Structure 1
Amino acid sequence: MALRGTNQESGRPYNRRIVLESIRLRGPTTRSDIADRVGLTVQTVSTIVRELEEHDLILSVKEEPKGRGIPPSTLTINPDGGLAVGIHLTPLFIEAALVNLLGDVVESRHRHATKPTPDEAFALIGEMVAELKADMRGGRLLGAGLALPGPFDVESMSFVGPTTMTGWKNVDIRQRLADATGLPSFIENDMAAAALGEQLYGLGQQLSDYYYLFFSVGLGGAMMHDGLVMRGAWGNAGEIGHIPAVPDGEPCPCGNHGCLERYLSLDAFNRRGLPEADWVREIAPIFRNAIRTIENLFDPETVVLGGLAPQPLIDQLVTLVEGLNNSVSVRPNRSYPRVVIASDCQHSALRGAAALAVFGALSPRYGQMFET
């Protein structure tokens, strides 16, 4: 992701976020390295660094001299400089957590809830967030992020099938979240949130183009490009669950037949009732075809596999990469395998939801902080 500052006076808030993002991505780093990277003067960067230190968002570490001269201080993100509330709403449960700026889950709450209505869900969210606030040991709350199943606003897909939650059509989710939490609020579909979480806390710090395959009750995905989720015209790009996988196959609630998530999802796994190893062998050709389709469509550096599936099942699925056939991703100079496991599968969307609030407050392309 190319980060460039501006010398215009009106750009000061943006420059603060640019410097902070550069420290997050490249730290430990120095003032002079940041200045070279973002196109600002060392004096401007030093002024911004002082402001960020005053807000406790970064830490400055003085290294011991190893020769002549005094080495410059190095700068890193202060993990305790802020906390975000991440909330993951699923057809099976609701989970909420306090997450620090390094992506560590500081405290969490879990409630079983089968396809909750909005009133039920936000009542539980309000309870959990109140408990998390009460358990805080200092720190600043940046906001609350909510990840929930997609796709959004597609009549024939959003309100049918195993991921359906009754009564969520035409709900002002962001406002309901703000009312329930009392915090600046951000929402995203769970697959895009998980991809953002990987960008902020996981492999995304080394990769600029990857596809996040979100294996959950249904199946979805999101393509990260240059630090941003590829959105599409209506925010549903990368929704792979409803591509045709088996001609004239199983009927899908969306009205089509043979959709991929009818065979490759937790719902599909539970319906078959097979042991994990047997099921993985059965769906191996479908999984490999899905990976090749993703590669040929998006040309990612790798496909990151995560979601709500049990870790042993994720571990077995990723071994299927050994039998992948040719695609545009087959090249001798790869830095990563064609499929890798997400940095934190079980909490991917939860941490991603928190990342929404972190990005919303701090990122130069999303941020609202330091606007004066």
Structure 2
Amino acid sequence: MVLRGTNQEQARPYNRRIVLECIRNDGPQTRGEIAERVGLTVQTVSTIVRELEEQGYLLSSRRAPKGRGLPATILNINPDGGYAIGLTVTPLGVEAALMNLAGDLLGSAGRACPHPTPKQAFELIEELVAEVRAFRPAGRILGVGFAMPGPFDVQAMSFVGPTTLDGWAGVPVRARLEEVTKLPTFIAVDTVAAALGVRLYGEGASVRQFYYLHLGAGLGGTMMQDGVPLRGAWGNAGEIGHIQAIPGGLPCPCGNTGCLERYLSLDSFSNRRQGQSEADWVKEVTPIFHSAIRTIENLFDPQTIVLGGIAHSELIAALVATTEQLQTSISSRYDRTTPRVIASLANQSVLRGAAALAVSGVLSPRQEPTSSPGRARKRDPFSNGMAA
């Protein structure tokens, strides 16, 4: 993403975020380098940097001397300038982690709780937030990022069935989270959070365009385009688990039949035939899995597909191993430099990405549109009401 500042007088908060995001994205650099990248004067950048240093977000040091004169001062993010909490709730339970501004996970905790009710989940969240805050009891906590299974706000599909949080429809999630944590809250589909985690801190860090396929209780995915998740009109893009894989196949709680996640998901794996080994299950679902891979490739033309999720790493690795032989799609190129499918074996990508949501939500550049009486209001599924 190209970040550009503005010289409008009322835009100082925006410019502070621009400078901070520039350093977070591109690493240590001088005031002059920042000014050139974001289109601000060196004097403006110097003023902003002084404020950010005083607030503890930045650290400065000198480059190694390369001749006469004083070497330039370089600026870097202060890892301990702030912390964020990542939270995720799945049909398996609740997890939390504390992350610093450098993306290091300082500690995590979790509670098994099959198909938690909202009451159970928020009680566990309160316990876990207190537990992970203890890793840096005196630290500045910027906010909470929360990841949960989607899709959101979809008739007959949201919060229905064993692969999502059955019974959560109508719950004011954002309000309850802010009440329990006493912190600003930022929420996303778990696949988006995981894709952000992989993009920032995992296998997607060196790939600009990739599709992240999330093998969880269900199956979903997110296309990452130049580091930004493709969300769709209502934030539900990537629900590949509800593409029909087998016409007239197994019934799905969404009301359709033969949906992909009925065959390829942790729910499907846990309900495999009695006595069926993991290897036999992988062999059975391989044709369906490969068909899904080709569908994703033909729709999105990614550099690669990253398979991750909350499934154990051996299962993910076994599925990826089957893709050494794939049928033709638009990804069948002579000039490929990466495999068509790679594995993400870091099982905390969701928590990293959720925490990154909070860091970005508090610190990243954003300009709010000017409010007007005729401006349409957007539905906020997390507040059980309308967002401004």
Q: Same fold per TM (> 0.5)? A: yes
- Where structure 2 has 5 or more consecutive residues not aligned to the other structure, the ranges are 369-388
**8 Å CA contact 2:198, 2:353 repeated in 1:** yes
Question: Aligned partner of 1:298: which letter?
Answer: F
Q: Percent identity?
A: 62
**8 Å CA contact 1:308, 1:345 repeated in 2:** no
Residue 218 (structure 2) pairs with residue 218 (structure 1): yes
Aligned to 1:347: 348
Greater mean alpha carbon deviation, residues 75-84 or residues 198-207: 198-207
**8 Å CA contact 2:143, 2:183 repeated in 1:** yes
What's the CA shift string for 1:215-242, capped at 9, x where partnerless?
1010011122233222222211111001
What's the CA shift string for 1:146-187, capped at 9, x where partnerless?
111111112322233222434311111000000010101111
What's the CA shift string for 1:55-79, capped at 9, x where partnerless?
2212222122133443323322222
What's the CA shift string for 1:109-167, capped at 9, x where partnerless?
21111111111111111122123334424321000111111111123222332224343
| Map 1:22-37 → 2, pairs under 5 A | 22-37=22-37
Aligned length: 366
**Aligned partner of 1:285 among 287, 297, 304:** 287
What's the CA shift string for 1:283-336, capped at 9, x where partnerless?
222112111111111122221211101011111222233112222223344443
The structural deviation recorded for 1:46 is 2.1
Aligned to 1:21: 21
The structural deviation recorded for 1:9 is 1.3
The structural deviation recorded for 1:270 is 1.6
Instruction: Measure, in 1, the Cα distance between the counterparts of 2:175 and 2:136.
Output: 24
The structural deviation recorded for 1:361 is 0.8
Residue 19 (structure 2) pairs with residue 9 (structure 1): no
Question: Aligned partner of 2:348: which letter?
Answer: H
Aligned to 1:70: 70
| Map 1:170-181 → 2, pairs under 5 A | 170-181=170-181
Residue 318 (structure 2) pairs with residue 316 (structure 1): yes
Instruction: Measure, in 1, the Cα distance between the counterparts of 2:127 and 2:216.
Output: 25
Aligned to 2:379: none
Aligned to 1:360: 361
Instruction: Measure, in 2, the Cα distance between the counterparts of 1:203 and 1:362.
Output: 24
| Map 1:150-229 → 2, pairs under 5 A | 150-229=150-229
Greater mean alpha carbon deviation, residues 202-211 or residues 30-39: 202-211
The structural deviation recorded for 1:282 is 2.0
**8 Å CA contact 2:22, 2:34 repeated in 1:** yes
What's the CA shift string for 1:235-288, capped at 9, x where partnerless?
111110010112222222222222111111111112225333222222222112
**8 Å CA contact 2:90, 2:164 repeated in 1:** no
Residue 119 (structure 2) pairs with residue 119 (structure 1): yes
What's the CA shift string for 1:36-59, capped at 9, x where partnerless?
221122222222222222222122
Question: Aligned partner of 1:62: which letter?
Answer: R
1:212–1:41: structure 2 CA closer, same or farther, 3 Å change rule?
A: same
The structural deviation recorded for 1:87 is 0.7
Aligned to 1:50: 50
Question: Aligned partner of 1:306: which letter?
Answer: G
TM-score, structure 2 length as denominator?
A: 0.88
Structure 1 runs (4+) deviating above 6 angstroms are none
1:203–1:57: structure 2 CA closer, same or farther, 3 Å change rule?
A: farther
**8 Å CA contact 2:160, 2:167 repeated in 1:** no
| Map 1:327-338 → 2, pairs under 5 A | 327-338=329-340
Question: Aligned partner of 2:185: which letter?
Answer: S
Question: Aligned partner of 1:358: which letter?
Answer: V
Residue 296 (structure 2) pairs with residue 294 (structure 1): yes
Aligned to 2:263: 263
